[in-house]
Structure 1
Amino acid sequence: MEQLKREPQEREKEILDAVSSAIDDLGNEVRLSLDFFENEFEKEVTSVKLSGGGSRLVGVPEALGEIFSKSTERWDPVENLEMSLSPDTEESFRQNSSQAIIALGLAARLGRK
Structure 2
Amino acid sequence: GKHFTDALTADGALQAEAAHLLIKQGDAGMAEICRNTLARLATEVRNSIGFFEGQYEGAIQRLFVSGGLSRVEMVLQTLSDELGLPCEIWDPLENCEVALPAPKRKALQQEFSSLNVACGAAFEYLRS
* TM-score using structure 2 length: 0.72
Aligned equivalent of 1:79, options 75, 94, 113 = 94
Greater relative CO (CA pairs within 8 A, separation 6+):
1
Task: Please identify, of 46-55 and 25-34, the stretch whose mean Cα deviation from structure 2 is larger.
Answer: 46-55
| Partner of residue 69, structure 1 | 84
- Counterpart in the other structure of 1:106: 121
Equivalent position amino acid for 1:63 in 2: T
1:49 aligns with 2:60: no
Aligned-residue RMSD, C-alpha: 2.4
The residue that corresponds to 1:97 in the other structure is 112
| 1:3 to partner: Cα distance | 6.8
The gaps in structure 1 that reach 5 residues or longer are none
Equivalent pairs, count = 113
Is 1:33 the counterpart of 2:48 in the alignment?
Answer: yes
Range that drifts further, 64-73 or 9-18 = 9-18
User: Residues 10 and 81 from structure 1, CA distance in 2 versus in 1: closer, same or farther, beyond 3 angstroms?
Assistant: same
Note the residue ranges of structure 2 that are not aligned, 5 or more in a row: 1-15
User: Shift in Å at residue 31 of structure 1?
Assistant: 0.5
Output the CA distance in 2 between the equivalents of 1:33 and 1:8. Answer: 27
